[in-house]
Structure 1
């Protein structure tokens, strides 16, 4: 049976093609040279030339905030609770130079609020998830914004050069970093697996370029070999080898300025009166691990979602089915997981099973853990709890052995 996909199309300027190309030479203090290393071929990497005229309507379910933000907010001119953009801005630490390409794109973003509004709304379902993955790896938080530059946070984005998904990964790159390509499934469009692959690639490049993040990010765009040859050329001429001094393809020379311009605007958004779609600093998606073949329509029905809602969060499953014999990590809105796990019909398909417990006066997590042969930590993790306090009348997911 065919899986129905509804795409809402509007024409507007977005992504790499939406930003005017500008290049103005500049200089900055040189970085150390990088020795030759074993490298991946240039064909492993893709250039971001995405047709982003498809504006995908995304429906998001959010929950109450569960983490606390730092109090050292910069230049904040509002008394509203901090959102995820505030937390990101407080965490950025890659220096933003006084560089004309960066200033150009800051001005471009500020004078194109429709682009910013569209892309930040698209980011709502995924931004906190990506932030969690980057933070857990202790990588620069600026990397959370890479899909803003790569795909305009369009999970369906596909370039004519063969790159796909939020992170715009090509098939060779994806295979190298563990992505699967099956009939009816494309790992590059899978939010979970493509994020893992993209961050693995960035960590690999960071190591190969002796800890230089700008070189690593440039190589993510244009290829390890091309950046290394540019460094070698400058070294032979006695020229600086920092990113800003390298002779790289025009797209790559503008790629990092776009990223740093957006990061700087997020960090100082109140100074610029930059309006970003509010994103709560809390988990809004839950992974459901399905180990057998099942139709996504059925998962959607059991979670209380429409088929379109579920497909928006799981665009890698192009056939509308999960695959047997593998762990299919399906994302569902956090608020629907109780609905999903309360349906006993799901037990034959999911790897991790839960029961629903209605909290009674006098209940404690330690007692519930003992009665259900599990641990307090597992119960807290299943329910995204940051503290062990429970309230009568609430529902808890209890992991089953």
Structure 2
């Protein structure tokens, strides 16, 4: 599957500090470094393309874009992989509801997602892989799990036995009652008769009437959601990645199940850290398709909103924070982008070197974008004199700051 066109990263005159990130599994901020000295390995769970990219999506992908950029600022190579779940129940249900072919719907919304990510200057993944094209990988992984005794049948569907992974539950840290609640709420089937454990998840769904299906050694059918990501990650990143990322609603069951599949198959830890972005609300509730309270990136772009203002509005919130979007946040960001550009257009300005140091340090400290943008705000205020006399003592201030704003924060000003 084709990714979007990646923006070019300007080279920086300084190397950023080592990056530390919050790990859900340990509940602490942990240092990151390539295990083999070669490259950082990042997998971020992608969209199910049955509707347009909303600001909750954008918040997650910009958060992990900051991680990608912070590693690169620190002089590291990065291999970044993302999936697209281009066949799954929500997509099929949406296609049926609106009377559109499910393939057409998936292709259309995936292309819109590419356009939104390009506009927001999110670095493109090295591999963007759809569920459909990964079916051979899924089949091979299921066969490995069968050989390990971790797969069983319920009618014609295949299930993964969570007890096969001794580490099951360590990623989320949830107790069983919480797991059961989230499993039922997030696509699982804890009440299905015939399962060995209510938490066991489907890895191969046998063909149903009017649903797409593919040939396999287990009969015609399609992959379960969790096994798709595990198969792609193992193929693209090897047995252990550095960071498994996604929204906090993926902590369980999705990331727990992915880890279980991979760890039973390989005997190695699935990821060194599990990193999760917070949820964005609107009108008092989490922004989601089911609630219909969505603010679409494409709609804002089509209303002539500068994508850099959208990005800045999101950067003003820490990636792990749950927060609520308001229109006022966007208009403040629109005005601030204009103000930042005015200050940078002067060329000279307040001393830039301390700002560079602070921006890179903030992002290396668990991607603290609010702290980084506050440093730029302070520089702009000093340069324009809005906090007193204008300071233009650094003749090369703009030339120093522009590449850092682009490379580290993804803001092309």
Q: TM-score range by the shorter chain?
A: under 0.3
Higher strand fraction (1 or 2): 2
Q: TM-score, normalised by structure 1?
A: 0.26
TM-score scaled by structure 2? Answer: 0.26
